[in-house]
Amino acid sequence: MKTYHGSCFCGAIRFEAVGDLAEGTMRCNCSFCRKMRYWEMKLPEASGLRVLSGRDLLAETPRRQGDGVDMHHRFCSRCGTRLWTDGNVDELGGAFVMVCVGAIDNATEAELAAAPVFFADGAHDAWWNPALETRHL
């Protein structure tokens, strides 16, 4: 495990996240993740995220009406940087936090290049299954 330090582009929001890029990351083919080009690292424990500053500047992307998914996409209201997703989804193991890899400040290039990527099939609400096509993600 490593404590990663992260922030938004303008520096207003800073956080720590306990995880391990070597344990894997995820990209998803759902419409939201495709548009945002999300690349996330799931933390082993949802409690592994600690906001150090700027909590009052956190914003959330609105969900589609009636999708029934407890998932919250957080970003900086000042600069727009995507930071993490949190929620509670049975198929993802219950309560979770997934930090946007691009918001991590102290990941080395070697760690990023070596991080395994699971390509999830969120487009068919089957995140636990691999996406059939991944070249566009």
Q: Please determine, for residue 7, whether its predicted confidence score (pLDDT) is greater than 80.
A: yes
What pLDDT sits at residue 92? 77
Q: What is the pLDDT of residues 20-44, one digit of tens each?
A: 999 999 999 988 888 888 899 999 9
Residue in the structure block whose two tokens are 């419409």: 31
Q: Given this model, what pLDDT does residue 84 score?
A: 97
**pLDDT score of 67:** 64
Q: What is the mean pLDDT of residues 44-63?
A: 94
The secondary structure of 102-128, three-state, reads HHECCCCHHHHHHCCEEEEEHHHCEEE
Q: Residue 69 — very low, low, confident or very high, per pLDDT cuts 50/70/90?
A: confident
Mean pLDDT check: name the lowest of 1-15, 20-34, 45-59. 20-34
Is a pLDDT exceeding 70 seen at residue 16? Answer: yes
Q: Hey, what domains does the chain have and what are their CATH numbers?
A: 2-129 (2.170.150.70)
Residues 6+ apart with CB under 8 A from 10: 76, 78, 79, 81
Mean pLDDT of 124-129: 85
Which percentage of the chain shows pLDDT scores above 90?
Answer: 71
Q: Which residue did the predictor score with more confidence, 28 or 9?
A: 9
